[in-house]
Amino acid sequence: MSPANAGAKIDISIRRWNTISKDHQINEEIRAKEVRLVGPEGEQLGIKPFREAMQLAIDANMDLVNVAPQAKPPVCRIMDYGKFRYEQQKKEKEARKNQKIVDLKEVWFRSNIEEHDYQTKFRNVVKFLKDGDKVKCSVRFRGREIAHANIGQKILERVAQEVADISVIERVPKLEGRSMIMILAPKSH
């Protein structure tokens, strides 16, 4: 194989990332006349013309990646872009795994609720808050019960008062249609 063909082969392998990359400019996508070059080990190589930087990347059988396009001149690094993308995806996956997803749980009360039923539903509210979930407490009104919305207001205020040490009121009790709704969020410790 002639040296001219060898260069073309490397060039083809470098071009493969052009279709994959959406977040970084790679190799020929970089449109700067000169770049601040960082070597494969993180060493500063200074400001170089783009063509010279590209040739150094080809000689190292790596990619030239624009890591700081807003800088003057742009900062480019010689690296294996496939390995870089793999590491980035691994970090993102780990971050998603450690992320706590807060659910919104809903507990329905009635305006004429008995004490035992209230206590059962209240225990659910406490359990959800301790699990780190938000709780939507609702009082449903049927028929003419809507005329006594103040009863529903008292029920929701009682719930909020009894869980005040483990929660904060994210949304105060408010009448929406035939329901009065209040949202509680767990206190961040």
Assigned CATH class of 104-186: alpha beta
Beta strands in 116-178 (DSSP E): 134-140, 167-176
Each residue of 106-129: pLDDT tens digit?
A: 899 888 889 999 999 999 999 998
Cα separation, 35 vs 163, in Å, equals 59
Classify 130 as helix, strand or coil: helix
Q: Which residue has the higher pLDDT, 2 or 64?
A: 64
Domains 3-96 and 104-186 share a fold: no
DSSP 139: E
Q: Which residue has the higher pLDDT, 35 or 140?
A: 140
Domain ranges for the chain: 3-96, 104-186
Q: Which residue has the higher pLDDT, 166 or 66?
A: 166
Angle at 186 between CA 92 and CA 106, to 5 degrees: 95
Query: The domain 3-96: what is its CATH number?
Result: 3.10.20.80
Cα separation, 64 vs 78, in Å, equals 5
Rg of the chain over Cα atoms, rounded to whole angstroms, equals 31
